[in-house]
Amino acid sequence: MMRADKEAANKMRRDGKSYTEILAALKIPKATLSNWFGHVNWSRDIRKKLTAAAGIVSTERIRELDRVRGKHLERVYGEARGEARKEFEGLKYNPLFIAGLMLYWGEGDKVTKQSTRLINADPEMIRLFVLFLREVCRIPKEKIRAQAIIYPDLDPDGCIAHWSRAAGIPRNSFTKCSVIIGRHKTKRLSHGTCTIYVSSTYFKVKMLEWLSRLPKELMSTGYYANIAT
């Protein structure tokens, strides 16, 4: 004859209850329940169903978290765009602001979301863009990173030293050089190229907002009418 607590546990298990639910109701340890039902086919089938159901619940929770996270991020990025619009009005006559945006419009990465990145072989252009980031955008110097892109026969340390001087940023701001194979064996850049970047989606949103407003502003007759003579 089956003991009373096992009979009650058996009924609950057949009703589709988990070990946790049975433990809560009958105070029977999970180890005992596993010993009773762990090797029984019908109980295994119930475990599979419970596992599948738990997976569905878990997936729904993840989706809900993603929706909440998405709403939060959209709010934050909306604030970034609003901040950028206000700043644009105060900076649109600043020559360094305009120069920095024009550089990025022509040479910068507009595709990726996580970083504001510009690559060029002209040291003066690199230096000007760094100045724009520091003086206009107020990016802390430790947040401005760089990478030299070089050919296999170039000296990595020498190239980093060159671009560090050109950009006016310390050598410890540079990541490991990226080595590429040039298409031409002789007509190559003696120090490769330099990438300057800031890893911040918030700042990238602001940069793209500024760029979206720049052409219309520069082609407006009212813009030039307000420039002091």
CA distance 98 to 26: 74
Residues in the chain, how many?
Answer: 229
pTM of the model: 0.67
CA distance 152 to 150: 7
pLDDT confidence of residue 1: 46
Out of 46-50, 99-103, 174-178, pick the least confident.
46-50
Please give the average per-residue pLDDT across 210-216, as a whole number.
Answer: 95
Q: Which residue has the tokens 């619940």?
A: 57
Please give the average per-residue pLDDT across 152-158, as a whole number.
Answer: 91
Please give the average per-residue pLDDT across 70-78, as a whole number.
Answer: 83
Q: Note the helical H segments in 1-135.
A: 4-14, 19-26, 30-37, 41-91, 95-107, 123-131
pLDDT for residue 54 is more than 70: no
Can you list the pairs that 6-14 forms with residues at least 24 positions away whose Cβ atoms lie under 8 Å?
A: 6/36, 9/33, 9/36, 9/37, 10/36, 10/37, 13/37, 13/43, 13/46, 14/42, 14/46
pLDDT confidence of residue 180: 83
Please give the average per-residue pLDDT across 166-180, as a whole number.
Answer: 93
CA distances from 191 to 57, 152, 175 (A): 56, 11, 16
CA distance 119 to 168: 16
Q: Which residue has the tokens 């990173």?
A: 145
pLDDT confidence of residue 59: 61
Three-class DSSP category at 54? helix
Please give the average per-residue pLDDT across 29-56, as a whole number.
Answer: 80
Give the closest residue to 174 by CA, choosing from 182, 184, 162, 185: 162
Q: Give residue-wise pLDDT tens across range 80-120.
A: 999 999 999 999 999 999 999 999 999 999 998 889 999 99
Question: Where exactly are the structural domains of the chain?
Answer: 4-61, 75-225
pLDDT for residue 52 is more than 90: no
Please give the average per-residue pLDDT across 14-43, as a whole number.
Answer: 86
CA distance 195 to 121: 9
Confidence of residue 31 (pLDDT cuts 50, 70, 90): confident
With a pLDDT cut of 70, the percent of the chain lying above it is 88
Task: Give the pairing of strands 178-179 and 144-150.
Answer: parallel
Give the closest residue to 175 by CA, choosing from 164, 183, 165, 188: 164
pLDDT for residue 164 is more than 90: yes
